[in-house]
Amino acid sequence: MANSSGQVGRNYMRHLTGSVYGIFDKPVKMWRGTTMAGIMQDEARHDPSRGFVGGYELETLSLGLPFMAAFLDPGGWGREFTTALDHYENMAGLWIVGEDMPQETNRVKLNTDVLDQYGMPVPNVHYSDHENDKAMRAHAYDRGQAIYDAVGATRTLPTPPYPSTHNLGTNRMSENARDGVVNRWGQTHDIANLFVSDGSQFTTGASENPTLTIVALAIRQADHIAAEMGKGNL
């Protein structure tokens, strides 16, 4: 829902990401496993002594060779880059999923100067890292490299965030209309029969993939809608 300035939603989140790869002296053949087979939650806690608030998870990550070539070092060139790919068989990966900081400046806005095929304004997404996000990512890189060093990696490779996201926030859940867009049932404060069922309800991304929480909220919401329709309230 846009206001007069074309603003669609604020406090957009997408999870802090990044990855760390380790190269070993013997084949690992990570491509034989599932893309994400395990999760380490040791750092998924609130501990400001680490230099940031919130936490993150490290998930085992197995990417195919074409993805590795694209994501290992975007724009990379030369022997340092190619020697890493030459050791693909000996690689193992960890993906970082962290709680990025909700910021009002991270937002979705309608661009009235560019229209889609239906004549509607296209959305522009504005996102920048908070200083807390940068500190968390640096800590996660350090921990990921330490894990691989401890199990005998001959080389560790922290990589930049991938161009993919868990889109969260902008229609945040709140007790009243002043603080957000939807109530505890995902029902908008302003329009009684309009419900939001995706991750845009989230007030925080936490340090976890969001799918199961989205599903749980949608099932809970469906039960509520059915009950309210049965009472004639919707």
Rounded distance, CA 233 to CA 87, Å? Answer: 62
Interior/surface letters 63-102, b for 16+ CB within 10 angstroms, e for the rest: beeeebbebbbeeeeeeeeeebeebbebbbbbbbbbbbbb
Helix, strand and coil percent figures for the chain, each rounded to 5? 30, 25, 45
166 is catalytic: yes
Q: Which of 15, 166, 189, 224 is catalytic?
A: 166
Half-sphere exposure of 218 (CA within 13 A, CB side): 11
Contact between 99 and 56 under an 8 Å Cβ cutoff? The reply is yes
Asked whether the beta carbons of 147 and 135 are under 8 A apart, the reply is no
Which amino acid would we find at residue 85? L
Residues forming a β-bridge with 115:
121
Residue of 124, 102, 174 lying closest to 2 (CA atoms): 124
133 φ, ψ (degrees, to nearest 5): -65, -45
The residues annotated with a catalytic role in the active site are 166
